[in-house]
Amino acid sequence: MASSMEKVVNLCSRRGFVLASADAYGQLAGFFEYAGYGAHLKRNVEHSWWDCFVKHREDVVGVDGALLLPRAVWKASGHLDAFNDPLVSCVKCRSRFRADHLVEEELKISVEGLPMEKLGELIKEHKLRCPKCKGELGEAKPFNLMFKTYAGAVADEASEIYLRPETAQNIFTDYKTVSLASRKQVPFGIAQLGRAFRNEIAPRNFLFRVREFTQMEVEYFVHPDKLNECTLPESLLSVEIAVLTAEAQEKKSEAAIISFADMIDKKIIGTKWHAYWLAECVSWLQSIGLKNKSMRLRQHVSGELSHYSRETWDVEFNYGEWGWKELLGVANRGDYDVTQHAKASGKDMSLFDEASKQKFVPVVIEPSGGIDRVFLALLVDAFEEKPDKEGVRNVLHLHPEIAPVTVAVFPLMKKDGLAEKGRAVFEELRKHFACEYDESGSIGRRYARQDEVGTPYCVTVDYDTLTDGTVTVRDRDSGKQVRFPIEQVEQLIRNSMREFTNV
């Protein structure tokens, strides 16, 4: 019996949402292509993020930077030296594994935050062998995750360039120029949505851990003395969610449901700006339809923090059989990146405070997420198998704002002028919504096809339409069908989209 994750992966492949990249040549692990409904869904999520975090804000500017950056940038950012995963190789068959994954799988323990030497010790202590050939395993070693190439015809250190493993670094190198050009003063943010690349040792779990993915990041620059000068609106303070602190993880306690107001009052989170951005991320995820009960916040334990981070909180999603896993993270990067780039480039990257007439280096709060993980979480959260007369039917309860198709139009039959009327209704509705026309097969089959790709509304044109100008509008989730005059359908769908909730 297939698990629900397998069913979602199967649906993605059968309905063409996601394809293995270059499949005709045998898939290269960790690369995928989004197509058809999948490309629409991904684009809708990206637009929603950009609208919420950039377009509708006064204090955030968008950028769209280069994918390849020179060696000097990655040396300064610390990625050349520290952006590593622990690698262990089999002495006999030469297979390579991520040491932390291997230990977790073999010993069924969490090794979150354990340093490389400890992983090596665990491998020796428990006499772990190669999962493929049972050969002996070598020492755990750091493996750098960046893809390297060269700019121009000469392949030397000066021409070394790297595909960016995070979109953040273009923002740090450009931040002062962007802030001056856009006349922004702290607190302000610079956002980027674009591709990132990591040469993962073991890409796995479908879209969860891939080698090329889309990141959405905001670097939010704050005066170091003003990290608590932030007023969260009541709509964010009142959001309640499961929270697993670093302390709770050490004590092996469960997550507790806490509001953002309490997280701030009880100093569970370091600063108010950090709480604000975490709350904005949760609120955005809810707005695109993720259920509150499917998410939790988890604080990074000390050994787990990235080389630049003072404090990090992940929003995790319950991926069912894979358990709780990171969806996005919000880090306090301190002044690490700006200071590093100032030192390495020799440029003055500090800002000037008019009030105190002093220079300062801003502190950065960074909400950073991956579209691919959010895409998968949305599908897992929305997927349902509904029993019906013919067995079971798949339904994706996607939020209407992000569903690949908003309305499907069907003529009851192709004859007697119904197809022509159906197309006329379709032509009208497609001016306002992502719309699909379908006249093949029984109405039941057409509903089922749309339910499976998450279409929230289906409009059927029948014989009554020809006489009284009404159509039936079917709601995906309740299955209810209501007759409406054609000219009211657009407004009806708009109202229904606004009222939609599945949190």
Binding interface with ligand GAP (CB under 6 A): 166, 168, 198, 200, 209-210, 213, 215, 217, 326, 328-329, 366, 368-370, 372-373
Residue whose CB is less far from ligand GAP, 369 or 422: 369
How far apart are CB 336 and ligand GAP at their closest, in Å? 12
How far apart are CB 211 and ligand GAP at their closest, in Å? 7
Nearby residues of 178 by Cβ (< 8 Å), 6 or more positions away: 61, 63, 171, 184, 190
Total length of the chain:
503
C-alpha–C-alpha distance, residues 362 and 178, integer Å: 14
How far apart are CB 190 and ligand GAP at their closest, in Å? 13
Strand bridging mode 212-222 / 188-197: antiparallel
Residue whose CB is less far from ligand GAP, 311 or 366: 366
Structure tokens at 205: 């779990």
Residue whose CB is less far from ligand GAP, 370 or 422: 370
CA angle 8, 12, 17 (to 5 degrees): 145
How far apart are CB 367 and ligand GAP at their closest, in Å? 9
Residue whose CB is less far from ligand GAP, 289 or 370: 370
Residue whose CB is less far from ligand GAP, 106 or 326: 326
How far apart are CB 306 and ligand GAP at their closest, in Å? 7
How far apart are CB 217 and ligand GAP at their closest, in Å? 6
- Burial class for 34, CB neighbours closer than 10 Å (0-12, 13-18, 19+): buried
How does DSSP assign 64-117, residue by residue?
---SEEEHHHHHHHTHHHH-EEEEEEBTTT--EEEHHHHHHHHH----TT--HH
Q: Residue 459 is which amino acid?
A: V
How far apart are CB 330 and ligand GAP at their closest, in Å? 10
CB 328 within 8 A of CB 367: yes
CB 476 within 8 A of CB 395: yes
Tokens 């500017």 sit at which residue? 61
Tokens 């063409």 sit at which residue? 16
Residue whose CB is less far from ligand GAP, 192 or 394: 192
How far apart are CB 235 and ligand GAP at their closest, in Å? 24
CB 444 within 8 A of CB 393: no
How far apart are CB 225 and ligand GAP at their closest, in Å? 25
- Provide the angle, in degrees to the nearest 10, between the axes of the packed helices 36-50 and 371-382: 110
Residue whose CB is less far from ligand GAP, 210 or 268: 210
Residue whose CB is less far from ligand GAP, 100 or 200: 200
CB-based closest residue to ligand GAP: 370
- 351's enclosing H/E stretch is strand 351-353
CB 317 within 8 A of CB 294: yes
Residue whose CB is less far from ligand GAP, 195 or 414: 195
